[in-house]
Amino acid sequence: MPATSDLEREDLQDLLRRLADRKRVRSEATIQADVRQILLTGGLDLAEHDLEVHLEAQVGNRRRIDIEVGYTVIEVKKSLTSEAVVRDAEIQLGDYIAMRMRETGQQYVGILTDGAEWRAYRLHNDVLKEVTTHVLKTGRPDLGALLSWLEGVLATRQNVPPTPFEIRNRLGADSASYMLDRASLHLLYEEHEQLPTVQLKRQLWSQLLGSALGTQFTDDTDLFLEHTLLVNSAEIIAHLVLGFDVASLQPASLLSGEHFKRARISGVVEQDFFDWVLEVPGGDSFVRSLARRLARFDWRQVNHDVLKVLYESIIGTETRVSLGEYYTPDWLAERIVSEAVTNPLGQRVLDPSCGSGTFLFHAVRRYLTTAEQHGLSLADALEGLTRHVYGLDLHPVAVALARVTYVLAIGPERLTGNRRGIHVPVYLGDSMQWRQENVDLFTGDNLVISTTGDQLFGNELNFPEGLLDDVGRFDTMILELTALAGSPRATGTVPSLVSLFNRMAIEPQYQDAIKDSFRHLCHLHDIGRNHIWSYYVRNLARPMWLSRPKNRVDVMVGNPPWLAYRRMPKKLQERFRELCEVRGLWHGREVATHQDLSGLFVARTVQQFLSTDGKFAFVLPNAALDRGYFGGFRSGHYADPSEVTTVEFTGSWDLRRLRPHFFPRGGSVVFGRRTGMEDGATPLPASTIRWTGRLPKGSDTWDGVAQALTLESATLARYTNDLLESPYKPRFLEGATITPRVVFMIIEQPAGPLGLPAGRADVVSERSSTEKEPWKFMPAFERVVESEFVWPALLGESILPYRVLPPRKAVIPLVGDELLDGDNPRIDMYPDLASWWRKAEKIWHDHRSSERLTLTERLNFRKGLTGQFPAAPLRVVYAKSGMHISAALVDDPTAVIDHTLYWGTVASRSEGYFLCAILNSPELTDLVRPLMSYGKDERHIDKHVWKLPIPLYDPSNEVHARLATLGGLGAGFVAALDLDESKNFVSLRQDVRKVLAQGPYASEVDELVVGLLDQ
């Protein structure tokens, strides 16, 4: 929140309470004065902009704006509770904004308020659109929230530090700034989406992301606009880093990179898919407004990848996860770079999936710090940097952000210092080379690029390889060639290139090939196919150049895409499988859909870009360390028809125990080097470094988190998919879906003075604070039912380790093995049940939202109820919830098991106690953890426990028999505990586990379980 003095805060808080109280009768003049007071004393930095708060500002003929400040018009009303008042006020506000925009040529924002409610508007084509609203809470209005909302609308604060908090708060998807800019962009697109240039750029964007992201990508207008906003923002931020006054620059120059060219910095801002805003009316005004909001921040104060934060705060978590976009925390990238890049001045580093540039940021900083320590001049350090740190990505938004991140890492002091021209080496390129397998784009000493197919990257324009060694010169040459090809001239004519050859000192042996390509570019322009070829050519050239053996890098770092096979489009699945099979990475069978692109990506990019003896360090899913379907990857031997690539894995970090999780899946880091021998593979060791600890909030640096972490050696439990899962797995099933509880769970009430007929029970719904909407608001069921339909029910909270709490009671319409519903004539033989059940069915039908099952079908989903009966005399049950398994032996064959439990039959008490001893052992959690990929705190242990090789009980086996004995002793020990069973079941489980851990059998049980399973 903007800074104010304590006294001012108290006065403003009192003022806000008055404004929030709609019952208080107040005049418009009083509200107007209070709003002015908030603007002046709320710490909104109006003075920094030489802005005054004008009351009754004149506009037009004898009309006056209530309040005007900067580019914002505020209309005040006594109350906004009347639709008619709001409608009239909006017309008035729209007129004021339109007049101001005509007078100044600037975009204006409108605010309509009665002091309690604040509405912000944009005007487009004389139509006023409401964008965002803030409402004060009566009695306890939030001053900070209102001031943040106002500041986002006014965009007045200056020198805001670009911390993650400030970026999320002021630019994120929930901020007023974002909502206003997003609304303006949407209106621009909605009006001009049919223009050919807009359609073309969206089409190219869609094709590229479809290739990069598979079925997770949907050609969605909202995503295209969010990407446009992100890239335009990044390009403006790049200018702010260099100290440009963006308010004084033309929007076209901001998005074209013209001022970077003048500053002799290339490869940062260029024409791309997202400059369509400049080609539509109103786009200039949008860019100016966006620049004004971004200029609030002091972008010179950057110590991490801030654009990653901007991206994550705009693109929602659900979208990012669906696109497989898992961004690495800065502190982890910093640590990986320091581990892998041991000689920054002598090692060439590549991130082949650079994303927003997190790894690039730390590699750049590491290089420049080392250069300063070795006394290199600034000019030499920057020139060397761009030959030592490279980035590639197939995502155009990622590339745009990463280029600016590279500039941020260099820093404004260096960029404005005594230096030569530099080129930022971050490229849009296909590191996987999906379509180039066995096709060398270098024919002889030339790069050839197709312009005729439907591929974004192919092979037909012709450029001598020698030109690619000078990155800056090559890119400049391509830009000038395409500009000259598109200049006004008669169709079929080709301008002379003599001036360009002389100016750029193009060697004679290259000139004929360039002339041929230039004639082709002119032809493409003449037939209307000059689709930003410079963008394609320059970005395709670099990954292909890096893949030449003489140009390969010494270190690769990064976080490759985690894209599951099941999410790939069919053609990509076929290609993925083909590439995996020849390299020995395809596992197939029942885990085919779980196989992940990340392993193939590492193998492929090592083959493409890493020199012999070069090192790599990649962030991968934790499955890479121990899952069977990563077995081929861990082998380190990757053969294909062109060559055999082998790596020596040198170690790994197991990150899955860190809390809170920073990826939706457990993570790891693997290290290795490329060998030069076909038989030089060294598999990934089973030994690892296990990281544990709770990450402190707000720490972006390694120094900030290191003290909170514990790093220790550990051995991975490797489970291949050839290993048979426990034979108990098919025996254990989920119980019945006894929900909603209000219609099933009951409490029996004492009979009244007149008693009840035989075989009847007076019952009422058992209510719980954990009930969800809409069921929590339903009145309780209360009536008499036939006693035979009142069943003992075991829920998840009924089970402690070795102990079953007293069962609850439920009304279940079960007769023998037949489940009755309201349409079954047999139910009328039981009139009380029929009345209960038909009422329950109606409530379910009226309130089940999107659920299409009937109540009976829901109860018996996948035969969860009828599959239990007739029940065996002995069943082992264990709870689904919790970090540890809680299991007990149930000997009541009438008990109905709820879906919050798994149940399985056993032939004897000994077998039951054998299983309980294993399932209740704390060691079981450690053994199962390596098999658990998902979950905030790995809470789905129930889904993975039978992946352990728990054998069928064999009474003749000494270990089995001893575990059965210890399980029986444990059950007796827990049964004797004096527990307060009214306590919460979570607390009871903790109490029981604590007592068991200190009991006489704990160490022996754990030792036997580990010996039995950890093989």
What would the two tokens of residue 168 be? 């999320």
Phi-psi region of 105 (alpha: psi -120 to 50; beta: other; left: phi over 0): left
Q: What is the pLDDT of residue 525?
A: 73
What would the two tokens of residue 1003 be? 């160490």
| Confidence bin at 721 (pLDDT 50/70/90) | very low
Question: Per residue in 358-416, pLDDT tens?
Answer: 999 999 999 999 999 999 999 999 999 999 999 998 888 888 889 989 999 998 889 88
Distance CA 838, CA 781 (A): 12
Contact 583, 619 (CB under 8 A): no
Residues 6+ apart with CB under 8 A from 281: 192
Distance CA 630, CA 601 (A): 12
Average the pLDDT over each of 91-100, 709-718, 846-855, 893-902 and give the range with the smallest value. 846-855
**pLDDT mean across residues, the chain:** 85
Given the structure tokens 């209960």, which residue do they identify? 836
Q: What is the pLDDT of residue 1015?
A: 46
| Confidence bin at 5 (pLDDT 50/70/90) | low
Residues 6+ apart with CB under 8 A from 773: none
DSSP letter at 939 equals -
- Residue 196 reports pLDDT greater than 70: yes
Question: Per residue in 433-468, pLDDT tens?
Answer: 775 543 444 445 666 665 554 443 333 677 787 887
Question: Per residue in 731-780, pLDDT tens?
Answer: 999 999 999 999 999 999 887 777 788 889 999 999 888 888 888 888 88
Name the strand (E) or helix (H) holding 818. strand 818-819
Q: What is the pLDDT of residue 588?
A: 67
Q: Is the pTM of this model over 0.75?
A: no
User: Which candidate, 843, 766, 864, places its Cα nearest to that of 811?
Assistant: 766
Give Cα separations from 338 to 370, 555, 617, 713 (angstroms). 12, 12, 11, 20
Distance CA 623, CA 594 (A): 10
- Residue 339 reports pLDDT greater than 90: yes
For the chain, what percentages of helix, strand and coil (3-state, to nearest 5) are there? 45, 20, 35
In percent, how much of the chain has pLDDT > 70? 89
Question: Per residue in 471-522, pLDDT tens?
Answer: 778 878 887 888 788 787 767 778 889 999 999 999 999 898 888 888 888 8
Q: What is the pLDDT of residue 538?
A: 67
Q: Rg (Cα) of the chain, in Å, rounded?
A: 34
Q: What is the pLDDT of residue 323?
A: 54
CB-side exposure of 320: number of CA atoms within 13 Å? 20
Name the strand (E) or helix (H) holding 921. none
Question: Per residue in 867-883, pLDDT tens?
Answer: 999 999 999 999 988 77
User: Which candidate, 357, 367, 364, 298, places its Cα nearest to that of 330?
Assistant: 357
Residues 6+ apart with CB under 8 A from 646: 636, 637, 638, 674, 675, 677, 678, 679, 680, 681
Residues 6+ apart with CB under 8 A from 919: 876, 878, 885, 887, 945
Distance CA 262, CA 64 (A): 46
**Strand 442-443 vs strand 446-449: parallel, antiparallel, or unpaired?**
antiparallel
- Residue 119 reports pLDDT greater than 90: yes
The residue that leads in pLDDT, 535 or 703, is 703
Contact 861, 737 (CB under 8 A): yes
Domains in the chain (CATH in brackets) are: 6-156 (3.90.1570.30), 184-428 (no CATH), 442-546 (no CATH), 560-715 (no CATH), 730-1013 (no CATH)
Q: What is the pLDDT of residue 438?
A: 36
How many residues are recorded in the chain?
1015
